[in-house]
């Protein structure tokens, strides 16, 4: 009798937690598309050149997160943060040492996408970027990775959001960090006048470009920047800007620019945001 009672209690406990386990698994498959995530590394090699040859002066790296957003017949496209492309991996003193007076410096840049689910590496090419909204599209050879669909509408204030990213390289085989927060509203920079989505999702270096998803697993943003003094407030390009950017990349063919009679002398203003760090 005691054995039967124990067996009944054990089965109830096992089946009960098993049901919770299956529910959590289904939810994670819906909201947490790990196989759509890719980690990007940027490698910059600086060469000091003379009349005879060029020697390696230094090699530096940067990293970011990304997600698969589109497939064509021969290519797969990743959405990530544009500052990975235009930012330099050199610090102030490193820059002063390498670019000292009289030095002729050349550099080569390469991008690699790392799939920690299938343990594969892919070469990347920059297709398009928008510095103002911090969005970039990169391509690689066609893969079978699932695509993250863009949500039909922006999140409402208070909605739960989920971010998939790899801060400081914290990622390994089939272990991709998953963060949870809320949509807090919109923030507009004083200088660039660009509207940004504000989230209560913790962010650190390497998380940039990681997809931000709603409760249905649809993309509503990407990790872009964080407050210098409080890393639990993060920024993302707005849903509207992402939709607009992706519509502009329907055709990946470069359009021929019309020649201008006079070169433009206007300098682009930096899109600086006070107390904001790009990651």
- Whether the predicted pLDDT of 2 surpasses 60: no
pLDDT value for 129: 95
Q: What is the pLDDT of residues 71-115, one digit of tens each?
A: 999 999 999 999 999 999 988 888 888 888 888 889 999 999 998
pTM recorded for the entire structure: 0.77
Domain count, the chain: 1
pLDDT (mean) for 208-237: 89
Evaluate if residue 153 carries a pLDDT over 80.
yes
Residue-wise pLDDT tens digits, 57-75: 899 999 999 999 999 999 9
pLDDT band (50, 70, 90) for residue 173: low
Q: What is the pLDDT of residue 25?
A: 46
CATH number of the CATH domain containing 216:
2.40.10.120
Query: Does 22 fall in a domain?
Result: no
Residue 220 belongs to some domain of the structure: yes
Residue 22 structure tokens:
């299956």
How large is the average pLDDT for residues 219-244?
A: 89
Assigned domain for 28 exists: no
In a domain, 194, yes or no: yes
**Residue that wins the pLDDT comparison between 106 and 3:** 106
- The pLDDT value given to residue 172: 66
In a domain, 21, yes or no: no
Query: Residue range 30-48: average pLDDT?
Result: 84
Residue 140 lies in a domain: yes
Residue 15 within a domain? no
């Amino acid at each position: 009798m005691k054995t039967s009672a124990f067996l009944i209690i054990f089965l109830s406990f096992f089946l009960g937690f098993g049901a919770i386990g299956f529910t959590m698994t289904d939810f994670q498959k819906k909201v947490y598309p790990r196989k759509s995530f890719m980690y990007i590394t940027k490698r910059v090699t600086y060469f000091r050149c003379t009349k005879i040859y060029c020697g390696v002066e230094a090699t530096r790296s940067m990293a970011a997160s990304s997600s698969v957003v589109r497939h064509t017949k021969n290519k797969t496209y990743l959405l990530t943060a544009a500052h990975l492309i235009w930012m330099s991996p050199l610090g102030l003193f490193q820059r002063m040492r390498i670019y000292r007076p009289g030095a002729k410096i050349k550099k080569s840049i390469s991008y690699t996408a790392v799939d920690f689910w299938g343990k594969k590496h892919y070469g990347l090419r920059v297709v398009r970027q928008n510095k103002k909204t911090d969005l970039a599209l990169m391509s690689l050879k066609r893969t079978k990775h699932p695509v993250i669909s863009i949500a039909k509408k922006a999140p409402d204030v208070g909605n739960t959001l989920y971010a998939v990213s790899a801060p400081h390289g914290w990622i390994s085989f089939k272990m991709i960090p998953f963060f949870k927060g809320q949509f807090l509203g919109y923030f507009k920079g004083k200088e660039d006048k660009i509207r940004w989505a504000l989230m209560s999702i913790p962010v650190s270096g390497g998380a940039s470009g990681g997809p931000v998803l709603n409760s249905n697993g649809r993309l509503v943003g990407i990790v872009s920047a964080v407050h210098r003094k409080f890393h639990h407030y993060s920024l993302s390009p707005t849903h509207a800007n992402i939709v607009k950017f992706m519509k502009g990349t329907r055709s990946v063919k470069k359009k021929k620019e019309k020649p201008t009679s006079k070169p433009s002398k206007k300098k682009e203003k930096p899109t600086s945001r006070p107390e904001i760090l790009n990651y």
